[in-house]
């Protein structure tokens, strides 16, 4: 087993979805495999999430850990620049934002990466 860490996009080991309520968004970050939980818990901090959305004047960022479900829930205040009611962005709901979060780099072992790839349900060549 090679223990050297590699830097990959969060999307390689986790998936997620954005939801909105007013000017607040939640972004779930769900590791594909159980071994992805620990590196996310250690590295994808609220402070890092806030940095990713700083250009949108995000306010408070909270992370709720769900170890039983094996998932994380980030809640980002004021990130929708008015939300669906007031935003000038085409995507006023912020539905696309989970993919900005999933672009964050994370350092993982080859084993974690392999576990995630096995757990993903990708079809060779697409469907």
Partner 1 sequence: MTSDIFHIGNAAGFANDRLDAGAPVVAALIASGAPAALFYETLAERTLAFAQRARLADPDAGFTPDLESFLAPVLADCVAHNIPVLGNFGAANPLGAARAVHALAQRLGIGTIKVAVVEGDDVRAALPGLQVQAWEAEPLFDVHRRDILAANVYLGAQPIAAALALGADVVVTGRVTDSALALAPLLHHFGWNEADWDLMAAGVLTGHLLECGAQITGGYFADPGYKDVAGMASIGYPIAEVSADGGIVVTKPPGTGGRVDSQTVKEQILYEIHDPAAYLTPDVTLDLSNVFVRDDGLDRVRVAGARGWPAPETLKITISFEGGWLGEGEISYAGPGAAARARLAADTARARIERQFPGIAVRAEVLGLVSLFDGDSGALAHAMGDCEWPDVRVRIAVNCDDEATAARAAREVETLYCAGPAGGGGVRRHVTRRVKTASCLIPRESVQPRIRLVAADE
Count of Cβ atoms closer than 10 Å to residue 34 Cβ = 11
**Least distance in Å: CB of 62 to partner 1?**
8
Distances 67 to 8, 58, 71, 118, 125 between C-alpha atoms, Å: 23, 26, 6, 21, 33
Q: Which residues bind partner 1 (CB under 8 A)?
A: 11, 15-17, 19-22, 24, 26, 28, 30, 32, 55-57, 64, 66, 68-71, 73, 75, 81-82, 84-86, 88-91, 96-97, 100, 120-123, 126-127
Count of Cβ atoms closer than 10 Å to residue 2 Cβ = 8
**Least distance in Å: CB of 108 to partner 1?**
16
**Least distance in Å: CB of 127 to partner 1?**
5
């Amino acid at each position: 087993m090679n223990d050297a860490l590699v830097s990959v996009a969060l999307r390689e080991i986790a998936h997620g979805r954005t939801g909105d309520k007013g000017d607040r968004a939640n972004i779930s970050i769900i590791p594909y495999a159980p071994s992805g939980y620990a590196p996310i818990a250690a590295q994808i901090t609220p402070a890092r999430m806030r940095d990713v959305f700083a250009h949108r004047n995000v306010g408070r960022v909270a992370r709720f850990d769900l170890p039983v479900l094996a998932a994380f829930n980030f809640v980002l205040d004021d990130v929708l620049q008015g939300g669906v009611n007031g935003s000038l962005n085409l995507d006023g709901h912020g539905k696309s934002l989970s993919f900005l979060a999933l672009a964050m780099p994370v350092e993982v072992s080859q084993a974690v990466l392999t576990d995630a790839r096995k757990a993903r349900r990708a079809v060779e060549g697409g469907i």
